[in-house]
Amino acid sequence: MFFSPLEQFDTVPLLSLTFLGYADISFTSVLVPLIIVLLFMSAIYLLIFPFFNLVPNFWQFCFESLYLFMLDLIDQQIGSKGFVYLPLLFSLFFFVLSCNLLSMSPFGIALTSHLIIILFISLSLGISNFFLVYMYMEYLF
């Protein structure tokens, strides 16, 4: 039960596992909404995307609108060479949108306000882009 609006930023361990006496792996309060968002995104990708029709239903229209928004945004900001990044940017946009929508629910935890989530996303994207550019340097330039 929350008593203060700032309690959503507290990381409370829900389940703590200790290995070899010194390694602590905890299941925290930040991990629960993250798992909910990832399950929601997986369900959307696996249940709705394979059944797209020529005449769209409501859900297909919603995701086509999001897709066209991202496509138009990439075309305006990056240009036509940026279309190869569309799956990455669409997944990242959909993840942040889902996290922010979940945080608007009563007693929801704002995942995108936690520094560790932002650092994890930015470092994983930065390191992967660095290694991809390093591996394919001869093909790029």
Give me the pLDDT at residue 140, please.
63
Q: What are the structure tokens assigned to 2, written together?
A: 């929350």
Enclosing domain of residue 43:
5-140
Question: From CA 83, how far away is CA 52, in angstroms rounded?
Answer: 21
Question: From CA 48, how far away is CA 111, in angstroms rounded?
Answer: 25
Give me the pLDDT at residue 74, please.
92
- Within the chain, where are the H helices? 31-47, 58-77, 86-103, 115-135, 137-140
* pTM across the whole model: 0.76
CA 132 and chain centroid, separation = 21
Distances in Å between the alpha carbon of 30 and those of 49, 55, 90? 28, 40, 23
SS3 at position 25? strand
| pLDDT bracket for residue 75 (50, 70, 90) | very high
Question: From CA 122, how far away is CA 141, in angstroms rounded?
Answer: 25
| pLDDT bracket for residue 72 (50, 70, 90) | very high
Question: From CA 12, how far away is CA 104, in angstroms rounded?
Answer: 20
Convert the pLDDT of each residue in 8-63 to its tens digit.
677 778 888 887 778 888 888 888 888 889 898 888 888 877 777 788 888 888 88
Convert the pLDDT of each residue in 118-136 to its tens digit.
898 899 988 988 887 788 7
Count: domains in the chain? 1
